[in-house]
Structure 1
Amino acid sequence: MSESLATDLARKIGQVRFSDFPIATIHKAKLHILDTLGAALAGSTSPETSAVIHGLGLGRDTGDTPVWGTGLMLNSRTASFVNGVSAHAFELDDSGGCDHSGAVVLPTVLAALTDVGAPVDGARFLESILIGYEVGRRVLEASGGYEAHNGLGWHSTGTCGVFGAAAAAGVLLGLDTPQLTSALGLACSYAGGTWAFIQDGSQAKKLHAGRAAEGGLIAAKLARASLTGPAALFDAQCWGGFFSTFARHTGDAGLLVSDFGQNWRLNRCSIKPYATCRGTHSAIDAIGLVLGREELMPEDVAAIEVRMSAFQIGMCGGKSVSSRADAQMSLPYALAARLQYGQVTLAELVETARMHPQIAHWLSFIRTEADPDMSDDAEPVIAVTTGDGRRFVEMVEQPLGSPANPMADEAVIAKFTGLASGVVGLERSDAIRDFVLNLERQPAVHCLSALLRHPSPAIPMSGAKA
C-alpha cells in the first residue's frame, strides 16, 4: 500500500531543521510574529473578544495559559481560541497564508508551550511557526488556491488554517510521523467556517482564526495521547476526505507535498498597513498615488469608478458601513476614508468616523463594476474624474505590505508599538519587541507569554461600538 499524502507531509515536516530556513525567511517570520502580537493585543480590547470572554463565562483563572492583553489565565485550548479571536478581531493581522496564518498559528504555538513540559528555545519556536505557515498555505494551494476555495464559500482561515495549527503544535510537542499524521487527520474534524458573514456584516468571521487555532491544538494533543486520525484525508480519491469534500474539482492534492522546503510559504505573506480587508489595499494605494502625482486635493474629486473582478466585487464591493466588519470589507468605504481622513487605520473604523456625513457624500461618488475579463486575483483599477473633467486611471499591482512591496521594518515595528503600547504600556511593548526580534537567540520562550499579559489583573473592556 502506498504512503498517504498526510504521512508523506508528516514525514517531510519531521525532517525539517531550523538551519533549513534562510536568514531572510527567519527575519520575516519575526516581523510577522511581532505584527500578529500587536494586532492581537489591540484586538484584546475588541467587542468580539469581550463577548467571547463573558459569553463563555471565562472571567476567572482556570489554567496556566495567558489570554493576551488581559490578566486572565485559562487552559491552553481555550486561551488559543480567545487569542485567535483577538488576533483577527480588528482585521490588522497578516494575510497570504492560509489566509490569516498569523492569527491561527501564533495563538496555537504560544498556548502549546504550556503543554510541552520543558523549556522551548527560540529556534524551535520559530521552526514550529514557519511549519504552521507552510502547511496552512499548502493545503489552500492544493485546494485550488485562495479564489477557487473561498469562491466556493469556505473561509480558508478556518478550513485550511486548522491544519497549519495542528502541524505547528505537533512540531512543538515533538510528535513523530505517525502521531503527526493523526494530528492532521484529526484536524480535519475541526475544519470549518464560511463567508456567510459577508451578507450582513456580522462578527462571525472573527471566530474562524480562534476556532482553527483551538482545533489544531486539540488535534495535536489528542494525537500525542494516541488518538488516531484518518491518514487518507488528503488523498484525492478519499471519499469524505478534505479535498473531495471541501475542494471538489478545484484542487490538486499533489501540491500539498511537491517541492517541499524549496520555497517557504511565509515568504509570500503580506503585512497589513491598513485596518481593512487586503482586497482593498491596492485601491487605497492607487487613490493616494493619483492624489499625490496629480497634486489633487480630495475636494477636487468628482467621481471614482472601480473596475474589479467578479470575485473581488463579491468580497469587498459593498457600500454598507453599518458595522465595523461591514466597513472593513468595503473597498468603497476604504476609498471614502482615505479621501476624508487621509488614512485608513482603526480610528477610521469606529462608528463616529463611519457615520460622518461626508463619508456618505464620498460613497455617493464611488461606483464599482465587475469586469468579466479580469481574473479573480486581479487588483482593482480605479478611474478618478475631477470636477474640471480630467480623468486619471491607476492600478497598483503590488500594494504596500505585499512581499514585492514590503513595509519597512521600522514601519512594522511602529505599527506594533502603536497597537501594543495602548494595552500593555510602552515599557512592556518595547520588551516584547526586543524579545521577538532576537527570538532565535532566546534560550527559553515561555517568558514571552508572561509579557503578553495585561499589567493589571483587570480585563480590559471595550466601549467602542462595532
Structure 2
Amino acid sequence: MKIESLTQNLANRIANIRYEDLPEKTVKITKQYILDYLGNSIGGWTQKNMDIMYKTLGNSSDGTSAIMLNGKKGAVNSVLYSAMLNAAASHSLDFDDLHNPSIIHMACVTVPSALAVAEDEEKSGKDILAALVAGYEAGARIGESVNPEAYYFWHTTSTCGVFSSAATVANLKKFNTDQMVHCLGTAGTQAGGLWEFLIDGAMSKTLHAGKANFAGILSAKLTENGFTAAEKILDGDKGFCRAMLAEPRWEKLTEDIEGFKIDDNSFKPYACCKYTHPSNYAAQLLRNEHNLRPEDVEKVAIRSNRIVKQLVDNAHPKNPYGAKFSIQYCVSTMLKDGKLGIDQFSDENLVNAETQRLMKNVEVIVDPKLDEEYTEQPDRWAVELTITGKDGKEYTKFVEYPKGDPPNPMTWDEAVEKFMDLSVPVYGKEVCEKLVHLVVTLEEHDNFKKALAECF
C-alpha cells in the first residue's frame, strides 16, 4: 500500500512493531502494565456489575476459548466475550492505569484482547509484548489528537479504545499495513461511549471497556476474512477525528512516530478517577506532614484545570462508585484514612458524618494559569491544594506529578504488592505468585496458552 494519508502512516507504524524493536525499559514497563491489569481484572470480578455481566454473557460460545479471571475453573467458550468480560472487570474498580495526554485507560482496552487471542491462538510472549506496545501507540496518538476537548462528551477509553484493541489484535496476528488500515476502519465505525452515566454513578463505564475489546477483536476477525472499511477512518472528512473535534491536532497522529507512547503511561495508587489523584496526593502529603485530620479542617480549596471542575467536582455522589468521581469525597476520605483503596469506597464510608461535613467545604477552582499549562502540557495535571484549619492556619501543597506518573513512578515492588492485594483473596497466594512469575518471564514463553494453564 502506498502511504498517502495519516491513517495509513499510523497503520504502517503499528503494523510493523516487533519485540526486537523494543528497548529494555519499554519491555519492563509493558510487563508492569500486564501485571496491573491482571490485578485489576481479578479484583474487579468481585463487583456487582460483573455478576450482572457474567449472568448475561457467561455462557456465550463461538468455538474459541479463553480464561475468565473470576476465580472459577474453566473458560468461556468465546474469545470475544472472555476479553469483553475481563476488560469490564479490570475497569470496575477504577484502579487501572491511565495515559495522561490522551486520557485513556489503556490496559483495559489492550491487555484483555491480547491475552484472550494469544491464549486461543497459542501466540508467544514476545508477540504479546509487541502487540501491546502497538495497541498503546494507536490509542494514545488518536486520543491526543482530539483531547481534552472531546472528553467533555466522550469517554475516550471507549471511543479511542476500539482502535487500541484493534491495533493490538492486528499486530498480534501480524497484519500488513493494508489489513491494519481496514481493521482500524472497522473499529472506528463502532466507536462510542458517553459520559452521561456519571450523573447517576451508573455501571456504563465498565461496559465501555468491555465493548472496546469486543469491537477490536471483531474488527480483526472480520478483516481476516476480507471485510473492508474506510481507508481514512482517522483523517477523512467524515472520519473519527473530525467527528470528535472540529480542528483535530493532526500532528499528534504521527509526530515522533518512532517513539513508544507506552513509556509515558501512569499507574494508580488510589482506586478512583485519575483527575482526583494530584489533589489526593497533596492531601496525603499535608496530612502526613502536619498530622491533619478532618476534624481539624475548616475548608479545602483546590486550584487546577477545567477538566477537574468538569469531571470530578461533585459534593453529593449518589453511591460508592459515584464517589470515585467526587474530588470532595476523595480528598475528605484521604484526610480521614490516609489512603484510598477499595475499602474506602463503601456505603458506610460514604455516609460518615465527618466526611460529609468536610465534603461540603471543599471548593474546586479553575486556575487560568494551571489550565493554560494543562493545555500546553497535557501529561502534567498540576494542582494547588490549600487546607484551612479550624484554628485559621493555612497549609498549601503544589503537586505537578502525583505518585504513579512517570516522573514519580510506582516501582515494580509496589506494583506486585498492589497485584497481590487485589488477587490473593480470589486465587490464593500460590496461583498469584505463579502469575507474577509468568509476567516476569513472559518473553521466554513460546506458547502463552500452555504457560497460562500452568499457573492454575
TM-score (norm 2): 0.92
Query: What's the CA shift for 1:373?
Result: 4.5
Aligned to 1:314, what secondary structure does the other structure show?
helix
Aligned to 1:374, what secondary structure does the other structure show?
helix
Q: Is 154-163 or 316-325 further displaced after alignment?
A: 316-325
Aligned to 2:128: 125
- Per-residue CA deviation, residues 140-165 of structure 1 (Å, 9 max, x unaligned), is 1122x3x22213x1111011111111
Q: Call closer, same or farther: CA 1:61–1:339 in 2, change over 3 Å.
A: farther
Aligned to 1:340: 336
Q: Is 270-279 or 200-209 further displaced after alignment?
A: 200-209
**Percent pairwise identity:** 27
8 Å contact kept, 2:280–2:331:
yes
Q: Call closer, same or farther: CA 1:62–1:350 in 2, change over 3 Å.
A: farther
1:108 partnered with 2:113: yes
1:429 partnered with 2:419: no
1:194 partnered with 2:194: yes
The one of 390, 394, 408 aligned to 1:391: 394
How far apart in 2 are the matches of 1:347 and 1:28?
27
1:404 partnered with 2:407: yes
Q: Call closer, same or farther: CA 1:422–1:14 in 2, change over 3 Å.
A: same
Aligned to 1:304, what secondary structure does the other structure show?
strand
How is 1:69-88 mapped onto 2 (pairs within 5 angstroms)?
Answer: 69=70, 70-71=72-73, 72-88=75-91
Q: Call closer, same or farther: CA 1:7–1:370 in 2, change over 3 Å.
A: closer
- Per-residue CA deviation, residues 400-422 of structure 1 (Å, 9 max, x unaligned), is 00011001211111000110111
Aligned to 1:438: 441
Aligned to 1:89, what secondary structure does the other structure show?
coil
Aligned to 1:275, what secondary structure does the other structure show?
coil
Query: What's the CA shift for 1:297?
Result: 4.3
Aligned to 2:316: 320
Query: What's the CA shift for 1:60?
Result: 8.8
Q: Call closer, same or farther: CA 1:17–1:2 in 2, change over 3 Å.
A: closer
Query: What's the CA shift for 1:41?
Result: 0.4
How far apart in 1 are the matches of 2:314 and 2:440?
39
The aligned amino acid for 1:181 is V
Aligned to 2:278, what secondary structure does the other structure show?
helix
Aligned to 1:92: 95
Task: Give the aligned CA root-mean-square deviation in angstroms.
Answer: 2.0
Aligned to 1:414: 417
Structure 1 residue ranges without an equivalent (≥5): 456-466
How far apart in 2 are the matches of 1:451 and 1:243?
43
How far apart in 1 are the matches of 2:370 and 2:290?
27
8 Å contact kept, 1:432–1:448:
no
- Per-residue CA deviation, residues 135-193 of structure 1 (Å, 9 max, x unaligned), is 110111122x3x22213x11110111111111110011121221111101100122110
8 Å contact kept, 2:65–2:120:
no
- Per-residue CA deviation, residues 415-462 of structure 1 (Å, 9 max, x unaligned), is 00110111111110110001101112222212455468xx7xxxxxxx
Aligned to 1:381: 384
Q: Call closer, same or farther: CA 1:447–1:299 in 2, change over 3 Å.
A: farther
How is 1:239-258 mapped onto 2 (pairs within 5 angstroms)?
Answer: 239-249=237-247, 251-258=248-255
The one of 260, 266, 270 aligned to 1:270: 266
1:162 partnered with 2:167: no
Aligned to 1:131, what secondary structure does the other structure show?
helix
Q: Which runs of 4+ in 1 moved over 6 A?
A: 59-62
Aligned to 1:458: none
- Per-residue CA deviation, residues 42-83 of structure 1 (Å, 9 max, x unaligned), is 011111111111134638997522221233423111111111
8 Å contact kept, 1:190–1:216:
no
How far apart in 2 are the matches of 1:288 and 1:373?
24
Q: Call closer, same or farther: CA 1:63–1:20 in 2, change over 3 Å.
A: closer
Aligned to 2:340, what secondary structure does the other structure show?
coil
8 Å contact kept, 1:48–1:203:
yes
How far apart in 2 are the matches of 1:59 and 1:15?
33
Aligned to 1:216: 216
Structure 2 residue ranges without an equivalent (≥5): 375-380
Query: What's the CA shift for 1:372?
Result: 4.3
8 Å contact kept, 2:60–2:77:
no
TM-score (norm 1): 0.90
Query: What's the CA shift for 1:16?
Result: 2.3
Aligned to 2:362: 366
How far apart in 1 are the matches of 2:216 and 2:83?
10
8 Å contact kept, 1:167–1:180:
yes
Q: Is 76-85 or 65-74 further displaced after alignment?
A: 65-74
8 Å contact kept, 2:300–2:388:
yes
How far apart in 1 are the matches of 2:69 and 2:62?
13
Residue-pair matches, total: 444
8 Å contact kept, 1:66–1:449:
no
Q: Call closer, same or farther: CA 1:192–1:60 in 2, change over 3 Å.
A: closer
Aligned to 2:6: 5
Q: Call closer, same or farther: CA 1:38–1:450 in 2, change over 3 Å.
A: same
